[in-house]
Amino acid sequence: MNAESAEVGTPTGESSGPVDERVRRAWELIAGRLPTRGPLPGTVGTVVDEARVAEVERVVGDELGVRLPPDLVALWWLDAVHAGHCLPSEGAFSLDGPQEALELRKFMLDLAEAEDPDDPAWPDRFTEDLLPIGTSPGGDSLVVRLRPDEHHGNVHFWDHEVWGLGVPLWPSVAAMLDDAASALLSGGPALTWHVANGGDQPLVVPLLNERGRLTDWEASPGPAPGPEPDLGPRPAPRPSPGA
């Protein structure tokens, strides 16, 4: 994957909807390392965009009785959110907007339901409590867990060929952004929390061009991380109105 394609833009970091300062600050740092990209479909401060976010909230509320993690909603509402491949892990993930997330979720649920229930992989199929928020060039996904338990808001790697959830990549969307921003600023590895907790995805480091702009994430040749970093508290699930 090569993300270098245009002049570098200046992110505004402003939001027309819910504001999460942690999310805003981390995204500003990430966006400062990205080449200019088109805006993320289905977001950024218009009535249509607001309706798309509300539709995801409605579907999640109707099916699971919970609201979306507030840090995900805050990210979708930020202005100047890029649709380029900017998120770890290896190979880099692009961020999906709310409309893309719903469409991909339906597609993955339909695929899962078409499989044979006698298949040994059936218990590990994609389920309704998962929401895709990022896509890799190879077709894998970043998914957020939505079921109202202690794992609500966790971000997982979803392999489109080998189903099942392993150790979360991050405890929350905000932690995902913090991790990416920290690695982009320091040149050090991302996914240290995941590896420290026994995850099987490799540490990754950002590849920057001569202008300091992100071109890819690649597996780190460095040693295993030390003590588990503090990525902040995991957001508690919020009940859906009327649930």
Q: What is the C-alpha separation between 129 and 143, in angstroms, rounded?
A: 10
pLDDT of residue 154: 97
Task: Confirm if 160 and 140 have CB atoms less than 8 A apart.
Answer: yes
Percent above pLDDT 90 for the chain: 40
E strands, the chain, in order: 85-87, 93-95, 130-135, 141-145, 155-158, 204-208, 214-219
The two structure tokens encoding residue 169: 């990549």
Choose the weakest-confidence range: 78-82, 120-124, 147-151: 78-82
pLDDT of residue 146: 95
Please calculate the CA angle 30-31-37 and round it to the nearest 5 degrees: 135
pLDDT of residue 137: 85
Q: What is the C-alpha separation between 69 and 57, in angstroms, rounded?
A: 10
Residues forming beta bridges with residue 134, ordered by sequence position: 95, 142
Q: What is the C-alpha separation between 202 and 124, in angstroms, rounded?
A: 22
**SS3 of the chain: helix, strand, coil, percent, to 5:** 30, 15, 55
The pTM for the full model equals 0.79
With a CB cutoff of 8 Å and minimum separation 6, the contacts of 40 are 76, 81, 82, 83, 95, 97
Choose the weakest-confidence range: 24-38, 67-81, 155-169: 24-38
| Integer angstrom CA distances of residue 70 from 21, 41, 50, 150, 177 | 12, 19, 14, 15, 14
Tens-digit pLDDT profile for residues 36-89: 655 544 444 444 477 888 999 999 999 889 889 999 999 988 865 665 678 888
Residues forming beta bridges with residue 87, ordered by sequence position: 93
Choose the weakest-confidence range: 15-19, 43-47, 125-129, 134-138: 43-47
